[in-house]
């Protein structure tokens, strides 16, 4: 009987908790990506910061640092761009949709040549934010990532990312700014 009562109590707390995705709250965090494509591996890091312009909808900027290797060819990308993010439901588990565009500067190296190039990366993903507490979540995103460069088409494929986000209320951000 105790287990049933405890399970019901934890479920009610889990579902009714109000995580920080309200208008004028902030989100700061980052994601680590692993992308597999045809004979290639991609590892990336994307720190980001944004503000909720309405409840559950955030806009912001992210930075991108990527390393790609395909055979003997290595590429390093640095990028910056906007993101959009929408959270569904209330509670400590929130499904979400995420989209971002990054403008890239890339450096390529192989045994035969070395060059730099500019391009863009688009990520469209869905996932879930699993809140550890009211202000911190672990996020899992899965979707499609496509990179295109000025001099060639680039590549696209399945993308899986895991990240941490910190959610700060408007009042918490004001307190940080006043110190």
**SS (HEC) of 88-103:** CCCCCEEEEEEEEEEE
Q: Which residues pair with 153 in a beta bridge?
A: none
Q: For residues 67 and 17, give the distance between their C-alpha atoms in angstroms, rounded to a whole number.
A: 38
For 13-30, write each residue's pLDDT tens digit.
444 445 578 999 999 999
For 116-129, write each residue's pLDDT tens digit.
889 998 999 999 99
Task: Tell me which residue range forms the domain holding 7.
Answer: 2-178
Query: Based on the structure, what is the number of domains in the chain?
Result: 1
Are 59 and 82 in contact by the 8 Å Cβ rule? The answer is yes
Q: Is the pLDDT of residue 60 over 90?
A: yes
CATH number at residue 149: 2.40.160.20
Rounded to two decimals, the pTM is: 0.76
Residue 108 to residues 69, 72, 114, 120, Cα–Cα distance (Å):
10, 10, 5, 15
């Amino acid at each position: 009987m105790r287990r049933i009562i405890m399970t019901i109590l934890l479920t009610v707390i889990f579902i009714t908790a109000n995580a920080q995705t309200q208008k004028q709250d902030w989100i700061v965090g980052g994601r680590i990506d692993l992308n597999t494509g045809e004979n290639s591996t991609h590892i990336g890091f994307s720190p980001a910061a944004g503000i909720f312009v309405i409840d559950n909808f955030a806009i912001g900027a992210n930075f991108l640092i990527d390393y790609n290797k395909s055979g003997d060819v290595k590429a390093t990308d640095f990028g910056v761009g906007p993101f959009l993010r929408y959270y569904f439901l209330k509670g400590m588990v929130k499904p979400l949709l995420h989209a971002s565009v990054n403008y890239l500067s890339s450096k390529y190296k192989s045994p035969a040549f070395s060059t730099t190039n500019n391009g863009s990366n688009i990520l469209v993903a869905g996932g879930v934010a699993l809140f550890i507490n009211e202000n911190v979540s672990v996020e899992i995103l899965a979707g499609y990532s496509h990179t295109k460069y000025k001099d060639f088409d680039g590549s696209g494929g399945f993308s899986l990312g895991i990240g941490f986000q910190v959610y700060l209320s408007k009042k918490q951000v004001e307190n940080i700014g006043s110190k």
